[in-house]
Amino acid sequence: MPGVESLLVRDMKIRIGDIIGGCFISVWLLAVLLYGVNALLGLIVGELYLPSKKGDGGTLHGALARIVSLIILVICTFILSAMWKAVRKRRRRRQKPDPTWEFRGDEDTDNDKGDVP
């Protein structure tokens, strides 16, 4: 039964990889949202707080804060839209159409009777 054991090990490696990948993506998403929300508030209010690793972040005021906020929002929008496109592409790839079913243009799709397919 070495074949069964190798399949179990392979499945376990795939699950561990999925968990680690999910955690990595979650941390990136959290960071993008953190900076995105701070940039949105900075754009509205005119005071931008940029957090750092050590806990003491920098603060920008006035027009400079609004310019930097706009740049950060553009970058965050680009990152989030790229992630969204990747998720949608992956979902589309998983859903394969049934090759036995074909749609012909002459079929009636609005069947009100319910008895004829």
Task: Report which secondary-structure segment, H or E, holds 39.
Answer: helix 2-45
Report d(CA 92, CA 115) in Å as an integer. 31
Supply the pTM of this predicted model: 0.57
Q: What residue ranges do the domains of the chain occupy?
A: 2-94
- The gap from C-alpha 9 to its chain's centroid, in whole angstroms, comes to 29
Model confidence over 42-95: pLDDT tens digits? 889 888 888 777 777 888 899 999 999 999 999 988 988 888 888 787 767 666
Model confidence over 85-106: pLDDT tens digits? 887 877 676 666 555 655 555 5
